[in-house]
Amino acid sequence: MSSNLHPSVAEFKEFTERYPKLIKHVRDHRESWQPYYEKWVLLGEDDPYWNQFTEGNEQGKTNDQQTEGKEDQDSTNNKEMMGQFMNMIENVDLNKVQGHIQQLNGAISNIQNLVGQFQEMKKTNPTKGNAPKKSPFGFGRD
C-alpha cells in the first residue's frame, strides 16, 4: 500500500512512526494529519516543535500537568459562578419583578393603541399617505 503513496507522504509516515505520542495526540484529539504534514514539510524533522511528541519528554508532562491545572481552575470558576448566580436569584424580589412586567405590558399596549390609531388615520385619508407619486420628469414615458 505504501508503494502507491507519494514519496514525501511515505517519508512523513515513516517520520510519524518514530513519534508515537504524535500519533496518539492526533487520534485522541480527532485531528487531521494535514497540519502536521505541512509543519513537517516547512519545519523539517529536526525542528524543536517535534520534541513535545518524543517519549519521556518533560515538556509533554508539563503540558499535561498544565492542562489538568487549567481544568481544575475552570471547574472551580464554574462553581463560583453558579454560587454567585444562585445568590442573585435568592436576592430577587419577585413582587418588584411582577411590577416591572406589568409596567412593560402597559407600555406595549399603549404602543399597540398608537399603531392602531395611525393605521386608521391612513385608511381615512388615503390621498395624503397612500397616493401614488408622480415622477417630476415627463420624458421617458411610452
Report pTM.
0.38
Instruction: Judge contact between 25 and 53, C-beta under 8 A.
Output: yes
**pLDDT at residue 133, rounded to an integer:** 64
Using CB atoms within 10 Å of the CB of residue 1, give its burial: 0 to 12 exposed, 13 to 18 middle, 19+ buried: exposed
**Residues of the chain with pLDDT > 90: what percent?**
12
CA distance 40 to 2: 19
pLDDT of residue 64: 54
Confidence of residue 110 (pLDDT cuts 50, 70, 90): very high
Mean pLDDT of 100-114: 94
| The pLDDT of residue 24 is above 70 | yes
Q: Do 52 and 60 touch, CB atoms closer than 8 A?
A: yes
Listed in sequence order, the residues at least 6 apart from 53 whose beta carbon sits closer than 8 Å to its beta carbon are 19, 21, 22, 25, 60
Residues in CB range of 39: below 8 A, 6 or more apart = 47, 49
